[in-house]
Amino acid sequence: MSTIFTFVAGVVGTVIIIWLYNYSQNHGKIKWYKWFGVITWYLWTIYGISFVYLNIVYHETRAATIGAFMFFVISIIGAILLARTIGILKTAGQKSDMPVSKEG
């Protein structure tokens, strides 16, 4: 299971890097500290998933619950802040750079 998890984590990480790289080509360069933020967020999230998964496997219910809360709340807040900093997510009044489906 850990091999599959590591493989999936690698694939997701690669997709995020390619996606952000191309995003920066189209919407302006992403500064180094924003890349650093993305990598930190990614590692935090991956390690959070690993922590929760392993504690569930070993029946450490309390550790899994507290770990999920600690890792994922910070991960979600971090994702929103990063998306706004990079410009993927605009504040109200700003037009997002992301294409929006008119049918949606």
Partner 1 sequence: MLSEKKKSDQRQLFRTTRRNFLGLGAGLATSAGLFALLNKRHLASAATNKALASTGMDGAIVKQLEISKGMFGTTEIVGEIKRISEDMHGFYQAAQGYYGEDAKNQIRRFIPKHPLGGAISRMRTFIASEDAVDGEANPDKLSIPDPERMSEHIKKTGLFLKADAIGIGVLPKFALYTHKAPPISKVLYEGTASLDDMTPVVNDHPYVIVILVDQDLYTLKGSTGYDGISGSQSMMSYLTSGMIACCLAGYIRNLGYNARAHHCTNYQLVGTPCLISAGLGELSRIGDSVLHPVLGVRHKMAAVTTDLPLMPDKPIDFGLRDFCSKCMKCAEECPAGAISMERDQTVFNGYKKWPHDIQKCTTFRVTNRDGSSCGRCLKVCPWNNKEKSWFHDVGKWAASKFGKQGHLLKEVDDMFGFGNEAIAEYRWWLEFPELY
Residue 58 is a binding residue for partner 1 (CB under 8 A): yes
Residue 59 is a binding residue for partner 1 (CB under 8 A): yes
**Per CB under 8 A, which region of 29-37, 38-46, 72-80, 93-101 contacts partner 1?**
93-101
Residue 73 CA to residue 69 CA, distance in Å, equals 6
Residue 99, sorted as left (phi over 0), alpha (psi -120 to 50) or beta, turns out to be beta
The three-state secondary structure class of 94 is: coil
Q: Which of 5, 8, 12, 21 binds partner 1 (CB under 8 A)?
A: 21
Residue 54 is a binding residue for partner 1 (CB under 8 A): yes
CB 91 within 8 A of CB 84: yes
Residue 23 is a binding residue for partner 1 (CB under 8 A): yes
Residues 6+ apart with CB under 8 A from 50: 5
Which residues contribute to the site for partner 1 (CB under 8 A)?
10, 14, 17-19, 21-23, 26, 47, 50-51, 54-55, 58-63, 66-67, 99-104
